[in-house]
Amino acid sequence: MSCPACFSGSTHDHAEPRGTIETIHGVRTYVAGGSDPSKSKSTIIYLPDIFSLKLVNNKILADDYATATGCTVYIPDVVYGGGMSPSLMDKMNVVLTPNPTWTIGGVLSKIYAAITLIPQAVPFMILADPKKVYPQILGYARGVKADLPAGGKLGVCGFCWGAWPSTKLCVETATEAVREGGSGADDRSTVRLIDAQFNGHPSYIVKTPQMIVDAVKKFKVPYTVAVASDDMQFNKTEAEKVEATLRSEVGEPGGSNPQGYAYEFRMYDGCVHGFCVRAPVGKKDDVNEKGFFESKQQAIDWFNKYLN
């Protein structure tokens, strides 16, 4: 499920990517950090928004996570078609931004932007459902987990499109269970795949909120979400429903929970869908810019706590 805000936002120019493009388990991957394994033995898989590696913001954010946690961060190129062109953001911004006054030129600019946007956005929404590529993502994650050195842990973060698979991975085991009649059982077939999860402004997941509850309950994966209060999809109302269900089924999160469940829904008042990755920086949108930097720190703190 996508909304207009999934295609809107701002391209960042406050930094340049510092990572490299490599092939990891057969998938083209942006690799951030990892040059100093003494800092951390853990890896984070970053499942991006619909713009994937075509949007520089995702690479810059992965670099920041790697620097602040010491973890290696991978962004696998798994979004349909390599992701949408960031140029579509300008067109969607024109469509979504109210005109100060209704002039013929203003109306025509919106119509033109919509006409040029729809032929690209609609097919993508039909073909790019993360469920279609999830088996590849699962195989990739299991391969990365197997590559970890002793003591290394695997984290995952997901944004918009990537929040659904990042949540789904939390109920998976490190290896596929051995089928009946097989031999050579792997102990990892009962070990959780993911050791910590963060997602921001999730999309798709709003239709299947029970999967968040399952992600927390099955293997007690530490699970945190950055929620935009004004999101068109997973907003304050939806997050509060899921949080209430979790409290009913597993109790309060954190140290007060004797069963060891760790979960958090952090609300960012006034923020809109896309703020964790595509908020304007230095462009007079103080609310979403503040949310961008605070949600980045939320993820960093979570991964430092549970992966290092």
Which pLDDT belongs to residue 203?
A: 87
Average pLDDT per consecutive 10 residues, the chain (308 residues; last block may be shorter):
73 94 98 90 97 97 97 97 86 66 67 70 82 97 97 97 96 80 60 97 83 95 96 91 93 72 96 94 89 98 96
Q: Where do the DSSP E strands lie in the chain?
A: 20-24, 27-32, 43-47, 72-76, 154-159, 196-200, 223-228, 263-268
Residue owning tokens 């698979």:
165
Closest C-alpha to 30, from 66, 76, 81, 61: 76
Backbone torsions φ then ψ of 266, nearest 5 degrees: -100, 125
Domains belonging to the chain, first-starting first, are 14-85+129-307 (3.40.50.1820)
Strands 263-268 and 43-47: unpaired
Which pLDDT belongs to residue 211?
A: 94
